[in-house]
Structure 1
Amino acid sequence: MNLSRIYRQAPASTLISLAIIIVFTITAIQSRSFTNNLGASDLGSSWMLYAPAMTNGTGALRAVGGMFLHIGPGHMLLNLVLLWLLGREIEKDFGSALFTVMYFVGGIGASAAVVWMDPLSPTAGASGAIYAMMAILVGLFMLRGADLRAPIILIVVNLGYTFLASDVSLWGHLGGLITGALLTWPMVKARSRRTQWIIALGGLVVVIVVLWAGLPLT
């Protein structure tokens, strides 16, 4: 499968994946390490999701930048595989532009959950947005009348790993999953693309407000 074919199947997912790879490469060059790529990276330090560094709203873009940072190649590759597989299915139904908005709703919703529930834990990765995509995929399968076992098993397995592993962001994953679940029902039930856009943009505003409300004032 060549790159042009991959891009045609899922343009937004492919471009987001490329952005993640570029960011990882920059952090690896700055840190002079492929495995400890955030160890001495200026980009990693300035984009890492960490609530105390987001005072007065400054640095609130960490909620987005952190979605592109990954801790080591294994972390990145796992998320890239899930992003492309899930994104390809979701883009088929919603289109690339709307998918992109939904992706960031899920990711920022996950960041908001971390800021509120685990603010002292530095967090990085696309996992929150990917968990939101898992929830959306369940909604799409329900709409299609498809077998729900595969997406539900995917969620259960990943949640099991989340609760058992000590080096993952529990609230980042749960926040993404909850955000995706809340977004899914109105999106799949909407009768027109215009209504879906209103719902998605409204969801983006809501997660930004929730995130902002959880940031330190000073």
Structure 2
Amino acid sequence: MKSFYRTAPATLIITSACIILWLVAAFQARSLTNVFSGSALMNNMMVWGPAFEIADHWWTPLSYAFMHLDIGHLTVNMFMLMLIGREVERHFGTVLFVALYLSAAISSGLLILTLDFMSPTAGASGALFALMVLLISVYRSRGADLRAPIVLVVVNVVYTFLTTGVSLWGHLGGLFAGIILALCVNRKSPVIHWVGIIGLPVAAFFLYTGVGA
């Protein structure tokens, strides 16, 4: 674990935060399989259109990415985050990794609000989809075989369309965010990196306000 923290501290901290928050929500709900309806923390952190507008839960397009519905949802997402996040963080560095992660999570959250306003949503899947796309760029920069990360993305996209109960626009939002962020961070100029990282959630917010209008 010390070695993991040295090479990917942000990944470990984000994973730990998700686990701790889920444990609090599970304790409130008195359930390991359904924390959605019985936890005040979940209700305050999940992204849901009416709460975002009426109750002014302005933080939820980010906070939703740190909450999970049940122990299975948490386990799968944290396993993926530990594996993929470590590689992406080691490649881009901790500061850039955190910025990429937050940008993808917020952009996905805003897309959910735009296109799936009435669906309460929680989970790190949107950010994870972006990390999967960024993993392709990591492999490409190393001259490694791209088949494994590409298959990973394709399998998860197919899973999104075939499985009920997942956030279609959360997953696709993360996928689109990952593509845009990868195009930006593959450029040599740090200015382009940050234009993409900051500009993406800003554009997603204007899309939300434009559609809402």
TM-score (norm 2): 0.92
Among the aligned pairs, what percent are the same residue?
39
2:135 matched to which residue of 1? 137
Q: Does 1:200 align with 2:197?
A: yes
Distance 1:36 1:215, change over 3 A: farther
CA shift, 1:204, in A, is 4.3
Shift of 1:215: 8.3
Q: Which residue of 1 aligns with 2:30?
A: 32
Q: Which aligned pairs between 1:14-33 and structure 2 lie closer than 5 A?
A: 14-33=12-31
What is the Cα deviation at residue 208 of structure 1? 4.3
Counterpart residue type for residue 89 of structure 1? E
Residue of structure 2 in register with 1:128 after alignment: 126
Higher mean Cα deviation, 78-87 or 3-12? Answer: 3-12
Q: Is the 8 A contact 1:51 1:216 kept in 2?
A: no
Pairing of 1:5-154 with structure 2 (within 5 A): 5-55=3-53, 58-154=56-152
Aligned AA for 1:71? Answer: L
Question: Against the structure 1 CA distance between its residues 171 and 198, is the aligned structure 2 distance closer, same or farther, given a 3 Å change threshold?
Answer: closer
Kept after mapping to 2: 8 A contact 1:55/1:216? no
Please list the CA deviations of residues 63-112 of structure 1 after superposition, one character each: whole Å capped at 9, or x if unmatched. Answer: 11110110111100110011111111111121111101100111111112
The structure with higher relative contact order (CA 8 Å, sep 6+) is 1
> What aligned pairs does 1:152-167 form with structure 2 within 5 A after superposition?
152-167=150-165
2 CA distance for matches of 1:208 and 1:95?
27
Q: Tell me how far apart the structure 2 counterparts of residues 204 and 118 of structure 1 sit (CA, whole Å).
A: 17
Rounded to whole Å, the distance in 1 between the matches of 2:5 and 2:88 is 14
| 2:164 match: secondary structure | coil
Checking the alignment, whether the CA contact within 8 Å between 2:180 and 2:196 is kept in structure 1 is no
Distance 1:199 1:19 in 2: 26
Distance 2:58 2:179 in 1: 24
Gaps of 5+ in 1: none
Whether contact under 8 Å (1:115, 1:214) holds in the other structure is no
Q: Specify the SS of the correspondent of 1:54.
A: helix
Does structure 2 conserve the Cα–Cα contact (< 8 Å) formed by 1:48 and 1:66? Answer: yes
Q: Check conservation: 1:10, 1:84, Cα contact below 8 A.
A: no
Q: CA RMSD in A?
A: 1.9
User: How far apart in 2 are the matches of 1:135 and 1:77?
Assistant: 21
Find the aligned partners of 1:204 and 1:102 in 2 and give their Cα distance: 11
Aligned-pair CA distance for 1:146: 1.7
Counterparts of 2:89 and 2:179 in 1: how far apart (Å)? Answer: 17
**Number of the residue aligned with 1:4:** 2
Q: Hey, what's the Cα distance between the residues in 2 that align with 1:69 and 1:128?
A: 12
Contact 2:65 2:124 survives alignment (8 Å): yes
Distance 1:43 1:69 in 2: 9
Q: Aligned partners of 2:166, 2:114: CA distance in 1, in Å?
A: 17
Give the secondary-structure state (helix, strand or coil) at the position aligned to 1:184.
helix
Alignment TM-score, normalising by the size of structure 1: 0.90
Give the secondary structure class of the aligned counterpart of 1:189. coil
Unaligned runs of 5+ in 2: none
What amino acid sits opposite 2:120 in the alignment?
P
